[in-house]
Structure 1
Amino acid sequence: MVSRMFRLETEVDKARQDLLRKRLRDTNTAASPVLRALRGTPGERELPLHVWVLDDSGALAGGLVGHTWTNWLHVGQLWVDARHRGAGLGSQLLAQAERTAFRERGCTSVRLETWDFQAPEFYKKQGYDVVCVIPDYPPGITEYTLTKRLTA
């Protein structure tokens, strides 16, 4: 029998994180015909997609930060300054990101997460469907995952 020694560490290590990500991607690609077919294509890598709204003075009024991967847009953050809410900026940010993802990057779907006190109803009004509900994440709060199909 082979004896193995392990050392557990809890530090942040960017080089190891990058190595782990590469090895996981390689393992997943080897196991999945779909991911293998993506190898070497533009859709293989995540590409940032950011949309910003600035007010007349150049200050940030709102923004959307996300990325595209394969044929999906993932919205990570969407925020509108309280002074500008109700003016349709959130809808405009989301629509611009969807158009860019669809027209320029070939995306056919969008996914995002939001908490119950944030904007699940806003996203439903924009055509998103709830596909996952995680209660008590974090405690006392419900997280929603929503998706939407993009069409011309």
Structure 2
Amino acid sequence: MVCRMFRIEAEVDKARRDLLRSRLRDTNTAASPVLAALRGTPGERDLPLHVWALDSSGDLAGGLVGHTWASWLHITYLWVDAVHRGTGLGSRLLAEAEDLARTTRGCTASRLETWDFQAPDFYKKKGYRVVGVIPDYPPGITEYTLTKRLA
């Protein structure tokens, strides 16, 4: 039976989001032997990985937010407060996250996205290589996707 009646909604609905994600995961797993082999293994789990740096007052000096999945570390955010930039703190946060991902989660690679005005050169110096470029995303800015082998 084909449903021809649709109601379009534009609202945040976490339960529907989780249902959609679950159904997409099931569809992808059925279509891909690689994803099917991962199903139910520790590597399949999407686990958060956060690294925080606090200054002597206990205030946030910097941090890295990411997650691990399927032997990959995905870095979502890496930020260092302006007063701590140039001190090596960003390098320390990145190295700690990569080390945790490799040693405690079995990750063999890392990926991230960054804009041209942010830190593509920083990541390249840390061994990352550009694997994707999206010009004008958003308009006037270029987004880069970079990866690195951790093993």
User: What TM-score range do you get, normalising by the shorter chain?
Assistant: over 0.9
Query: In the aligned structure 2, how far is the partner of 1:112 from the partner of 1:148?
Result: 9
1:141 and 2:146 are equivalent in the alignment: no
Q: Which residue of 1 aligns with 2:150?
A: 150
**Is the partner of 1:12 in helix, strand or coil?**
coil
| Counterpart position of 1:106 | 106
Whole-angstrom distance in 1 between the partners of 2:66 and 2:52: 12
- Aligned length in residues: 151
CA distance in 1, matches of 2:72, 2:117: 25
| Residue-by-residue CA offset, 1:52-102 (whole Å, 9 max, x unaligned) | 111111111100000000110000000000000100000000000000001
Deviation at 1:3, TM superposition (A): 6.9
Most deviating of 104-113 and 10-19: 10-19
What is the aligned-residue identity percentage? 79
The equivalent of 2:52 in structure 1 is: 52
Distance 1:27 1:3 in 2: 20
Tell me by how many angstroms 1:51 deviates: 0.4
Once the two structures are overlaid, the 10-residue window that deviates more, 94-103 or 12-21, is 12-21
Structure 1 unaligned residues grouped into runs of 5+: none
Deviation at 1:4, TM superposition (A): 2.4
What TM-score do you get using the length of structure 2 for normalisation?
0.96
Give unpaired runs (5+ residues) of structure 2: none
Shifted more, 92-101 versus 13-22: the winner is: 13-22
Poorly superposed stretches of 4+, deviation over 2 Å: 1-4
The residue number in structure 1 matching 2:70 is 70
